[in-house]
Structure 1
């Protein structure tokens, strides 16, 4: 019997990049270029795989800065603690592993760093939240399991991971008087949100770039794969002169075809290149999953997700669809850090990055969001690379647009410019002209 197949093509990859691993129904195959993680109930998840087995660590070889992870040191150490707690049988692959209590993970992290203060715990809890948001772990109701992204660890790295787990210290864990660890784990195995992801197997998907790369020799194939990984995962646009696949027009054309199969396109900044969402693919996705533009209830009208380079890389966010709060907060930062300075002649017309931070007090004054919701939105936007935090003393600092704005295509830049006009001056003649032009289409 032939298995049913999920939606294939660029839109599937854009969905995975902007919203995290794709959920697959029972018997639904993964799209081309993705792995299928099959759960015991035959449902699954699909994750994009890297070409030729190359991982984003290739950026280190080229001394290219990857997309930053907030508090990366704590995040790596907490992930190591999760791995030790969840990968109890080192004779099998690390994913899917088994469930472990969050408190056991925190105790393992405490033993690893040799600290037990409240600040340490806050750091660890924040790292757990970031790892959950980016699908490296799944955390629910005091229990954690390895997330789907752990299934992407190359087999060649398993020996190194085993050695890491062996070297991590065992926590000094007192006997619990309320609920024992084993009872917590047993309860987790009956929790629907976690139980559906416990156990499973990895299934390879259909090849994606074989026809494009097969005609090249080993050297040029490696150059294409390296350029693909760099433009997709570097924090900033990279110099054309450093990569043969960006310098050579023929190779650059093939690179563009590789990106197009994932709903992506090359974006040029003079002699530098990065990648961004292809306009036609992101528009198609936006039409399939329209969002209610309710941001006006809490702030000015917000830009649509299709205008934003959301979901920038594997190192940090798994991708995200912006909610009402995130879009409202992002709009306020763009208005105060970009639109107003540009109107005052302090920024060039085509720049979406700004040296003018929006203070948190300014955000609090211009939004009806509760403080906790505002802080959560700022945290999510930082994690996605859409905002950067500037710290310059006790009284200065604030938030500026993040590095993902490099990834806007010219068309997306124009759309976002129009959205800012509508947000900053909805009753101006320029805003009326924007609305008239849109209604005439």
Structure 2
């Protein structure tokens, strides 16, 4: 593909974050592809240079973690990794679907106390922030969450650390999932413009 094609996708990723596209979308230089388990769509995720600092990540529009309530958000991300990445010898993406009930149970176990009414507000706020940045895919209506496409950028060193985090966090209860019809991938205006 041409440099202008790649630049267009990079500009789109900078403004919108991770991008869900049709599987037939040609590769983009410098972007990782994360296929949905049912192969209905793929996610384009900017590949981060090794050791990229906060300034580089901010410039690319991909901050490492949502900045509002960073400790709580990081805690909820760790809990979601524990709940969604059950086969830890396998890659983290796409993981499995976890429920809000599981997340609340692990959160209460981590805090060492019974669930409190304020916990749900903190958890849901963190899930929304992590969904907005592509770390998680949060279906608020169904109360279900999956790891987001940005996790494909985790290298072996990060996965070793995450396995240790998962080992020390409380085990989640079994998930009870609600059957859902898949949503079609949104049509990409960039592909339509190329056909004209």
Classify the TM-score, shorter chain.
0.7 to 0.9
**2:101 matches 1:103:** yes
Does residue 148 in structure 1 map to residue 149 in structure 2? yes
Q: Which residue of 2 aligns with 1:164?
A: 165
Alignment TM-score, normalising by the size of structure 1: 0.36
* CA deviations over 1:226-268 (Å, ceiling 9, x no partner): xxxxxxxxxxxxxxxxxxxxxxxxxxxxxxxxxxxxxxxxxxx
CA deviation after TM superposition for structure 1 residue 14, in Å: 1.4
Q: Alpha-carbon deviations, 1:41-63, whole Å to 9, x = none?
A: 26311111123x3344799xxxx
Instruction: List 4+ stretches of structure 1 deviating above 3 A.
Output: 55-59
- Is the 8 Å Cα contact of residues 27 and 42 (structure 1) preserved in structure 2? no
Aligned-pair CA distance for 1:156: 2.2
Which residue does the alignment assign to 1:34?
A: 31
Q: CA deviation at 1:151?
A: 1.2
Aligned position for 1:8 = 5
Mapped to 1, the partners of 2:82 and 2:35 lie a distance apart of 23
Contact 1:86/1:146 (<8 A) preserved? yes
Higher RCO (C-alpha 8 Å, min separation 6): 2
Map Cα deviations across residues 26-54 of structure 1 (whole Å, 9 max, x no partner). 32222111111123326311111123x33
Encode CA deviations 1:394-424: one digit per residue, 9 max, x unaligned.
xxxxxxxxxxxxxxxxxxxxxxxxxxxxxxx
What is the aligned partner in structure 2 of residue 199 from structure 1?
none
Matched residue, 1:86: 84
1:112, distance to aligned residue in structure 2 (A): 0.9
SS in 1 for 2:138: strand
Which of 162, 173, 191 is 2:181 aligned to? 191
Post-superposition CA distance 1:371-401 (Å, at most 9, x none): xxxxxxxxxxxxxxxxxxxxxxxxxxxxxxx
Alpha-carbon distance between aligned partners in 2 of 1:87 and 1:157, rounded to the nearest angstrom = 14
Coordinate RMSD, CA, aligned: 2.9
Contact kept, 8 Å, 2:65 with 2:130, in 1: the verdict is no
SS of alignment partner, residue 139 of structure 1: strand
Q: Is the 8 A contact 1:37 1:45 kept in 2?
A: yes
For these two proteins, the number of residue pairs brought into alignment is: 175
Structure with greater Cα Rg: 1
Q: Could you say which structure has the higher helix fraction?
A: 1
What are the residue-to-residue correspondences of 1:3-402 with 2, within 5 Å? 8-39=5-36, 40-41=38-39, 43-51=41-49, 53-56=50-53, 69-115=67-113, 116-140=115-139, 141-170=142-171, 181-182=175-176, 184=177, 187=179, 190-193=180-183
Aligned partner of residue 8 in structure 1, secondary structure:
helix
Q: TM-score, normalised by structure 2?
A: 0.77
- Check 1:18–1:124 CA distance in 2 against 1; reply closer, same or farther (3 A cut): same
The answer to whether the Cα contact below 8 Å between 1:12 and 1:31 also exists between their aligned partners in 2 is: yes
C-alpha distance in 2 between matches for 1:151 and 1:9: 20
1:29 is paired with a residue whose SS is coil
Tell me how far 1:100 sits from its aligned partner.
Answer: 0.9
SS at match of 1:135: coil
Q: CA deviation at 1:17?
A: 1.4
Unaligned 5+ residue runs, structure 1? 60-65, 174-179, 197-284, 289-441
